[in-house]
Structure 1
Amino acid sequence: MTLYGIKNCDTVKKSRAWFAGRGIEMPFHDLRSDGLQADVLRRWLAAVGAARLVNRSGTTWRALTPTQQAITDEDALVALLLAQPTLIRRPVVQIGEAITVGFVPDTWADLLEAGT
């Protein structure tokens, strides 16, 4: 189990508090300071898709060029997300093999109950 995010993100803080409030020790991986591997990003993209994973409402997205915003090639998208980790919608939570994106406590509860 791992919670991926950026430590000063409000949604990440709320998510970490949700797990802590249930006595669940959730390892935290900071996308900025700890980095991320391309194979992990590819796994996330395969699991949830680019439409769910890429944060298109933030300031980082708005600062991209139209060409960058139009990227559909997986290799180019992975390179962009590695260079700009704040483009990743947060938090990304891995529980077993399951990947979730965003604050989804009902889904986390179901996954934890199922022992995924």
Structure 2
Amino acid sequence: MVVVHGIKNCDTVQRALRRLTEAGIAYRFYDFKAEGLPRELAQTWVDALGMDLIVNRKGTTWRKLDEATREGLTAVNAAALLSAQPSLAKRPVIAKDGWLHAGFAAADEAAILDRLR
């Protein structure tokens, strides 16, 4: 089963969900803003994808963090920060049978959908 982790009002997440539906790919949506982002789950993302791929440094949540928190971010404390501030995660994070992917760039859509079929 495909699990799409994200925030329901995120444009990229909405586009990913539309594309999955159009492609006939069954999925379960996990809204980590509403349901929370367990530290253990965030840690699996950091371990599998790396901190730089999973932490969204372009968003409003990142810019609102104090400078010490931004500068002190490491692979060791990234999961705790993501759990405390789920909006920091790049969205969506798509999981299927141990495979993970963060983001849904237009250039990558076809490859992602092929991988999920």
Query: 2: distance between equivalents of 1:73 and 1:102?
Result: 19
Check 1:98–1:73 CA distance in 2 against 1; reply closer, same or farther (3 A cut): closer
Shift of 1:42: 1.1
Structure 2, unaligned runs of 5 or more: none
Aligned residue in 1 for 2:83: 82
Deviations, residues 24-49 of structure 1 (Å, cap 9, x unaligned): 12100001111122221111111111
Aligned partner of 1:78: which letter? A
The percent of aligned pairs where both chains have the same amino acid is 37
Instruction: Work out whether 1:72 is the aligned partner of 2:74.
Output: yes
Aligned residue in 2 for 1:105: 109
Shift of 1:73: 4.8
Q: Secondary structure at the match of 2:34?
A: coil
Aligned partner of 1:95: which letter? K
Query: 2: distance between equivalents of 1:3 and 1:40?
Result: 13
Q: Which consecutive segments of 4 or more residues in structure 1 shift more than 6 A?
A: none
Aligned residue in 1 for 2:51: 50
Check 1:111–1:68 CA distance in 2 against 1; reply closer, same or farther (3 A cut): same
Check 1:41–1:83 CA distance in 2 against 1; reply closer, same or farther (3 A cut): same
Check 1:67–1:77 CA distance in 2 against 1; reply closer, same or farther (3 A cut): same
Residues matched between the structures, number? 112
Instruction: Work out whether 1:29 is the aligned partner of 2:30.
Output: yes
Q: Secondary structure at the match of 1:2?
A: strand
Query: 1: distance between equivalents of 2:115 and 2:61?
Result: 31
Query: 1: distance between equivalents of 2:63 and 2:116?
Result: 36
Give me the TM-score of the superposition, normalised by structure 2. Answer: 0.89
